């Protein structure tokens, strides 16, 4: 297996201004020798994060970025509120630095006040947390990362990257009973919306790359907001708007595993005064997907919050058309998180048109599912995961839509394990790459949970689901059994499994025509330069 067959090169990243790749002595656009572990569910991630933060001492470094932060969100029970935990670290002498999206008004159900309060709590304790609005109009900083560095103890260095924010609703586990601290949400999910999500724990040289990416944003000399009103309010509130200097970056941690890791990002093309580290934006997440999809032969396994935009989904449809044996499994939310009279159609129209494009490419090789817990409540799928042929795996903050691929800031890790997996089939794609341990383990962990493989009456052992065709059929069989049980009035024992066949709701043509312009403008905007838009290139 050649890493460059799957991963983009420094030239293919298309952003000569970043130092992410130039900082590597060999100029490679990835690092080797990492140890990457998936942390499935917020409860798993939060418990490990809490332990790591509490182990930090004076002089250690804690860096984080977030889309939303709720200071009272508990990491692991009473006394572990994230604001208090970060404040305690700062008071111990840990250098705590955070960047949180300033956000839109709370009247639009975003998170301005929560983010401001978390920042205030950290600043009062001696840390520093800036509210960052350096985005395109209508855009957001969507990256979710935490970096823990330990001078003199590099074996403890770790970075966390994925889809899990430090906020309400995320602290759920495999039982999917939901986070007791629940945010406002669509009524279908109940009072405690069940939440499915994934974060990566990364150790090894890639920690240095993730930190370098944070430093590029932190050291951006541009004002945190272009809005005169926001800047005036920040002045009146005596808000911290100037980033203090960071300590020099430590040497990268030594190799400790078998995974190659590539740091991928989205930054928009800003119309005035672009990012100094990405003056024309960066679309390496999109470019990475496009390159990996061209190599897909057997199975694309996708978990995604949205799966929107025909312009993005066309790359998946093209792969299906070009490879007659290729199958696609997608796990998505059954119902969007917003169910208002206008917001629901706006959230549905992009998905419905995207799914129609996929099914036109191959109706019998595309399978789309939602999840439910054992009580029958839908599970909100917030994970952003893609595994191709059990070789290439990507986890991060990006969703499959134009907003994530072009408009908001996003952060992903693409992982290629240099250790082959010895379980059959040894080479699902048939290109000589061989199945890789990390990618297969990630797909199996997620799949076996959805299939309830641990249940006494399960018919889906791990060795069966290793095979892409068998996995595709197992998902279909499990979902069909649960669908039939529901359609029959839920009589008799509930079948094992959590998968439900996604049945797209009817959206009349007139409604589509009305909401499509709003969808393109507000829900799924395009952050590419005009020339790339015209060619639908990234």
Cα 316 to Cα 310: distance, rounded to the nearest angstrom: 10
Nearest to 117 by CA among 106, 107, 109: 106
pLDDT for 228: 86
48's CB contacts (< 8 A; 6+ apart) are 39, 201
Q: What are phi and psi of 407, to 5 degrees?
A: -115, -45
Catalogue the E-assigned strands of 107-225.
128-132, 145-149, 158-162, 195-196, 198-203
Dist. CA 494–CA 288, nearest whole Å: 41
Which residue is it, tokens 């996003």?
410
In the prediction, which pLDDT does 107 show? 53
- Structure-token pair, residue 504: 């797209």
Tens place of pLDDT for every residue, the chain, 538 residues?
899 999 999 999 999 999 999 999 999 999 999 999 999 999 999 999 999 999 999 999 999 999 999 999 999 999 999 999 999 999 999 999 999 998 754 555 566 777 778 888 999 999 999 999 999 999 999 999 999 999 999 999 999 999 999 999 999 999 999 999 999 999 999 999 999 999 999 999 999 999 999 999 999 999 998 888 888 888 888 888 999 999 999 999 999 999 999 999 999 998 777 999 999 999 999 999 999 999 999 999 999 999 999 999 999 999 999 999 999 999 999 999 988 888 899 989 999 999 999 999 999 999 999 999 999 999 999 999 999 999 999 999 999 999 999 999 999 999 999 999 999 999 999 999 999 999 999 999 999 999 999 988 889 999 999 999 999 999 999 999 999 999 999 999 999 999 999 999 999 999 999 999 999 999 999 999 999 999 999 9
pLDDT of residue 105: 46
| CA-to-CA separations, 414 to 190, 247, 333, 422, in angstroms, rounded | 34, 28, 23, 21
Q: Which residues of 277-297 are buried (b: 16+ CB within 10 A; e: fewer)?
A: bbebbbbbbbbbbbbbbebbb
Q: How many CB atoms lie within 10 A of CB 107?
A: 7
Enumerate the domain spans of the chain.
25-258
Residue-level pLDDT at 108? 56
Q: For domain 25-258, give its CATH number from 3.30.870.10, 3.40.190.290, 3.30.420.10, 3.40.50.300.
A: 3.30.870.10
Burial-class residue 268 by CB neighbours within 10 Å (0-12, 13-18, 19+): buried
The Cα–Cα gap between 298 and 114 comes to 44
Confidence (pLDDT) at 457: 84
Output the pTM of the full model: 0.96
Burial string for 43-82 (b: 16+ CB within 10 Å, else e) reads bbbbbbbbebbeebeeebbbbbbbbbbbbebbbeeeebbb
Q: How many CB atoms lie within 10 A of CB 248?
A: 5
Residue with tokens 């009146």: 236
């Amino acid at each position: 297996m050649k890493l460059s067959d799957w991963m983009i090169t420094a030239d293919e990243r298309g952003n000569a201004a970043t130092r992410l790749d130039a900082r590597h002595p060999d100029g490679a656009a990835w690092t080797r020798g990492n140890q990457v572990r998936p942390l499935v569910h917020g409860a798993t991630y939060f418990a490990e994060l809490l332990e790591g933060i509490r182990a930090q001492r004076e002089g250690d470094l804690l860096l984080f970025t977030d889309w939303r932060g709720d200071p009272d969100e508990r990491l692991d029970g009473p006394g572990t509120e994230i604001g208090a935990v970060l404040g305690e670290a700062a008071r111990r002498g840990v250098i705590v630095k955070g960047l949180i999206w300033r956000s839109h008004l709370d009247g639009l159900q975003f998170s301005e006040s929560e983010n401001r309060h978390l920042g205030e709590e950290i600043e009062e304790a001696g840390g520093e947390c800036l509210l960052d609005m350096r985005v395109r109009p209508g855009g957001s900083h969507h990256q979710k990362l935490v970096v823990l560095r330990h001078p003199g103890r590099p074996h403890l260095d770790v970075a966390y990257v994925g889809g899990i924010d430090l906020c309400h609703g995320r602290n759920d586990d495999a039982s999917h009973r939901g986070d007791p601290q629940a945010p406002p949400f669509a009524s279908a999910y109940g009072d405690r919306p069940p939440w499915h999500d994934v974060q990566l724990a990364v150790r090894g040289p890639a920690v240095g790359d993730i930190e370098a990416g944070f430093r590029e944003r932190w050291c951006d000399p541009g004002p945190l907001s272009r809005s005169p009103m926001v800047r005036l309010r920040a002045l009146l509130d005596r808000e911290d708007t100037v980033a203090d200097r960071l300590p020099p970056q430590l040497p990268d941690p030594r190799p400790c595993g078998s995974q190659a890791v590539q740091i991928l990002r989205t930054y928009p093309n800003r119309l005035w005064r672009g990012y100094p580290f990405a003056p024309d934006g960066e679309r390496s997440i999109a470019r990475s997907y496009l390159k990996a999809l061209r190599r897909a032969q057997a199975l694309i396994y996708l978990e995604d919050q949205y799966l929107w935009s025909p312009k993005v989904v066309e790359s998946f449809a093209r792969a299906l058309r070009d490879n007659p044996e290729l199958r696609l499994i997608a796990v998505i939310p059954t119902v969007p998180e917003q169910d208002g009279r206008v917001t629901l159609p706006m959230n549905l129209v992009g998905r419905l048109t995207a799914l129609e494009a996929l099914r036109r490419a191959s109706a019998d090789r595309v399978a789309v599912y939602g999840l439910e817990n054992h009580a029958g409540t839908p599970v909100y799928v917030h994970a952003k995961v893609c595994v191709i042929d059990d070789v290439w795996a990507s986890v991060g903050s990006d969703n499959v839509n134009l907003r994530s691929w072009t408009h908001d800031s996003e952060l992903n890790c693409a992982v290629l394990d240099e250790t082959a997996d010895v379980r059959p089939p040894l080479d699902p794609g048939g290109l000589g790459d061989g199945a890789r341990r990390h990618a297969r383990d990630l797909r199996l962990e997620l799949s076996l949970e959805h299939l309830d493989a641990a249940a006494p009456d399960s018919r889906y052992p791990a060795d069966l689901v290793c095979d892409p065709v068998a996995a595709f059929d197992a998902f279909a069989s499990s979902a069909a059994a649960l669908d039939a049980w529901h359609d029959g009035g839920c009589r008799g024992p509930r079948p094992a499994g959590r998968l439900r066949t996604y049945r797209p709701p009817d959206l009349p043509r007139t409604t589509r025509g009305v909401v499509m312009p709003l969808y393109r403008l507000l829900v799924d905007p395009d952050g590419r330069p005009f020339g790339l838009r015209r060619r639908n290139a990234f």
